[in-house]
Structure 1
Amino acid sequence: MLRITTTAYYPRKGVRVMHSSPDALLRPDDRDALRQALRQLYDRSDIPVLFGGQVENRLLSLSQFIGVRTAGLRGLRVRAETGLGGRVLITGRPAKVSDYRSARSITHDYDRPVLTEGIRSVVAVPVVVSGAVRAVLYGASRGPDPLGDRAADAVADASRRLAAELAIRDEVDHRLRLLDATRGSAGERQQGVPLEELRQVHAELRRVAQQVPDEDLRGRLLDMAGRLAGQSTAPSRPGPRLTPRELDVLAQVALGCNNAETGRRLSLLPETVKAYLRSAMRKLGASTRFEAVVTARRQGLLP
């Protein structure tokens, strides 16, 4: 897979950010989410040096950097139980050293790149998803004053946000695998996957899409949900243009959810659900919830 390395500058502090961007994938490269987490942390804190990387097979590969002055840390691979990051990989808990050079709580396998960078105080926080460490975020400073609890809390908050984003992406992948099982002719699809399960996948894809911050990924998920709905039926005529939220509500109603259940699943108030449902019914020319669902299915808006 082609990866292009780029360099960018942040005008507020005049520091450099190094990152890589992959070619187009259905699931965006998780390094993009890691980079975004560091950018947000950079904007919300006064931590001068930030970096991090993903974990695979108990190996941490550093790939994202803000505020670094050298290339020593770039591409560094941290093994479990070695250095501060390796300790975090094993424990799954944040760790901090106030003076890296003299710290006795960690091994010093990576002294050359760390000390060349001038780093003195470091905090490392794991990004834990479903009980597994998927990435590690670091905050560091070069001055004599160690990073305090406020800085550690800021890195921890960024870690939690990134963990939530990765969990959503994992759920999307799971749903897309189910969607792959529905490909082929309508007859093959219904033999391989029960129609009710197909409808659940469609509704869940739409629900998850609304939680995804990445606009490109959200759009592709909604497009796939739409194709899933359109390919599972043969619309007799072009259907009306329902808004994404109207379709979200109808998809949940089609599963038998009442207004309160639909609201909980979509993070909407029951009154808001009613408003979307009334609007969808009006556009579909339906007088009942059941009629709205049936009409939407006939027109290829729902599976």
Structure 2
Amino acid sequence: MLSASSDCAEDDEFLTQVTSRLRERFDADLALAGRVHPRTRQLTIRCVEGMSTDQYLGATSAPDQGIGAQVVALGRHVMTVNRDTHARAGAGGTGLMDCHAGICSVLAVPLRLDGRVMFVLYLAWRPEKSVGAATTKAALSFVRQLESFAAQAAKTHGIDVPRRWNVDSRALLQIDSELMQLSLEVAATPARERVAAIRSLLEDSVLASMAGEEATTVALTRRELDVLGLVAEGLSNAETAERLVVSPETVKAYLRTIRSKLGVRNRTAAVAVARRSGLLR
């Protein structure tokens, strides 16, 4: 069994890969990743891409501080935009919008496993870059695919964190590594852009394949989807029962079956898996 320090090292390796690709794919000026403590829910920045100093590395935030904490509490992304780069606006305790880099837009996205927010990923841009709805949607889609990939890896290898998210794709990742090296060696901009496009296609294929594998294992009835949909809206068992005109015990029975089918332990995880699988929107 891996030690706690080894676990963190492997988490950091995973986060380094993710933040690097996020920053590159979405042309962000900065990309950061924070790890959420499973008990205290404190967020600690473990990886930073795009800065010459390590001023944010190791920074922490309390469960009620910054947009990182909002992401953990809400279980969804948070976008902050402030054209006044002199204004203070904390991002998970890191103060991204108050740094010398002149950041004005920050997108913070949760990365979940088994329904729990385990990491928070940040993308940050300077004022001269336009961050529209299309960029946000694409980034969220990428992270959702990554969640499915991590969930499949965890399920396959019996682990609790996505530390070995690439273990089933060694050949493809070796190709990606070769392409990355090639992009550093070529000087012509068009050639580098073609290499970057090939890397993104390769990455999308791997992630989509893993997401598809997870989705094919899930089969819920129409009634089960009705129950889970109401649960996803935040309704209690009693409220769900009233809405569907059934007894609370019937709702509990449906939820037991849903959890069993999805291979999770609680309703939050069931909602998360169903969303990743495309069963819920």
Q: TM-score, normalised by structure 2?
A: 0.48
Structure ranking higher on relative contact order (CA contacts 8 Å, 6+ apart): 2
Q: TM-score, normalised by structure 1?
A: 0.45
Q: Comparing both structures, which one devotes a greater share of its residues to helix?
A: 2
Larger Rg: 1
Q: Comparing both structures, which one devotes a greater share of its residues to strand?
A: 1
